[in-house]
Structure 1
Amino acid sequence: MRSLSNILQLGIKELRSLARDPALVALIIYAFSLSIYSSATAMPETPNRATIAVVDEDRSQVSARLKDAFQLPYFLPPTLIDHRQMDQGMDSGLYTFTLNIPPDFQRDLLAGEQPAIQLNVDATQVSQAFSGAGHIRQIIQSETAAFVQRYQGSAKQPVEAVVRIAYNPNLDASWFGAITEVINQITMLSIILTGAALIREREHGTIEHLLVMPVTPLEIMLAKVWAMGLVVLVASGFALRFIVEGWLQVPIQGTMALFLVGTALHLFATTSMGIFLGTVARSMPQLGLLIMLVLIPLQILSGAVTPRESMPVPVQLIMSLAPTTHFVELAQSVLLRGAGLGIVWPKLLALIAIGAVFFYAALRRLRTTLQ
């Protein structure tokens, strides 16, 4: 009971010290709010409310069909303009795309010829120029093909492929981006907060006070783990409920409780990692450099950015020992695909085993530095 009391009191001390550090408090607030929103919406992989203008010199059924094909959320309603307005609009940045449908376009199309349509793209809008041009090209091809088939008929295809998009039917990149950013922030903040807590003890001279108190290195470490882990756990739950679901309107398919259980096990490993790095570094700048060397590979090679199957086999084997790999698969399965305990329990066991190894290594290192 005395040991549990020490762990509780030391953890409360860590929370109070964190509350008196405005820089870390601001980092936590930003990481689980604006950072998630900006990462999910800043650079869309598909056009989003792109501006487009149309110079319709044909005034035919097919040209009207092409104009009606540009719809929200990919494109704003097309603006009908003339040639003079097209140049002015592109120069002033009013339109990202301008489409020029030439005269007699429908007649030439039905005659079996290959009329050309001019598409002008403002490439300074780099986030939407490339992907938007591809979307427009696909729209033109599909709409003109459907129009011609209605008048000329076409041979029936022997096989028809029916595509059903699961879990993200609109292919909205913000759904995946928001969840990925929450995962990344959980890993980053847990390592930073625990490492900074240990560095702060050394810089303020309170580590000597702890050494003369009747507490053990195990109690000191457990206190930092549960205190900093609790902060990140509460912040991640808040971010999912109010930022991801509320602000970004991303539907959460699985149960929040199962995700938080997996997050707690992941935090057990990453907070231990933060303490280990805190024992190696001697100052906050050194801790920052160490975290960059560790965090970037963990995030890039965990499968959150690119599929692990596309990586070399040795890299896959090495990253199977990292907690981020199993946490990414667990989080995506629960939050995006609605997986239950019967599917993700191997990932929970892997996080427990990896966390125990990381905790033991950090505890041994902490005992060595406190002697």
Structure 2
Amino acid sequence: MQKVRGVVARGKGQPVSIETILVPDPGPGEAVVKVQACGVCHTDLHYREGGINDDFPFLLGHEAAGIVEAVGAGVTEVAPGDFVVLNWRAVCGDCRACRRGEPWYCFATHNAAQKMTLEDGTELTPALGIGAFAEKTLVHAGQCTKVDPSARPAAVGLLGCGVMAGIGAAINTGNVRRGQSVAVIGCGGVGTAAVAGARLAGAARIIAVDLDDRKLGGAVRMGATHTVNSSEQDPVQAIQELTDGFGADVVIDAVGRPETWKQAFYARDLAGTVVLVGVPTPDMTVPELPLIDVFGRGGSLKSSWYGDCLPSRDFPVLVDLYQQGRLDLDFFVTEEIDLDGVEAAFEKMHHGEVLRSVVIL
């Protein structure tokens, strides 16, 4: 058992606090990781606001990289001293998705069996089964993916959630191919990562759509060939005009609202693909569409959960591309902060001032 500092959300809407966390020694299949960096993600804010569930108190943080400190019995995939990026999709290998060769859809992912606690014994719910706004955290060993140890932790840790979700939405879910046209609606962290993914896949035309010219400028830096400010022009019409009147082959909705999903539906070419990667709230519903349009336009309407990634396959490749200078993960790191700066980072995120604040430990 170890005592460390960590960021805890004690109640719905309450400011987070720095608490002493008790981290158990790893049991069978578990690992203790010394956290080096962890990004501040919208999902952490959703936890604090009670938007995920009400299993307070939460130990926040999940976009993390660090060093494996200790492992429990039966762990063979990682060892003490390994540099890892943490993930919240430790596949089981035995569910119906895994057995049919699609582990990225695993329906029985693993987390650590033991609980981290406060000093008084109160059990903590780790965000996405990770809880990495802490000096050390306890996870299932399958949540640790070994990557190039010379990579910058603040940058590659972001693959643990938002950046992977965006890149995967383009490459894995959207199956973007060389020469295709892609439109991305919403150019925050996830949307800009989707632009980067489309570029990596070899898309010929990448159209970034947002209300904010600053975000559109960032999308251009990451590979967008065209931009549309949707406060000034209709995005569906603009995307069609930029694709010879047809619409884009793949349209990625990185906002997750009925309005933007409907725009994505009509902004795609016949037999094109719509990918929803922005996370809607529980009260949102699919907008009413004429069923003949759904039938007549053909193609695919897909949702992308964590970019349909397989961490053991995707993380090392993307880290290597970063190390080669072909994927600018540093772009997503707007600022580096300490644990005491998480609450302020939530406020900056709420106002759209940052792509990612990253806690450095």
Question: Structure 1-normalised TM-score?
Answer: 0.23
Is the strand fraction higher in 1 or 2? 2
The structure whose RCO (Cα within 8 Å, separation 6+) is larger is 1
How does the TM-score come out when normalised to structure 2? 0.24
- Structure having the larger proportion of residues in helix: 1
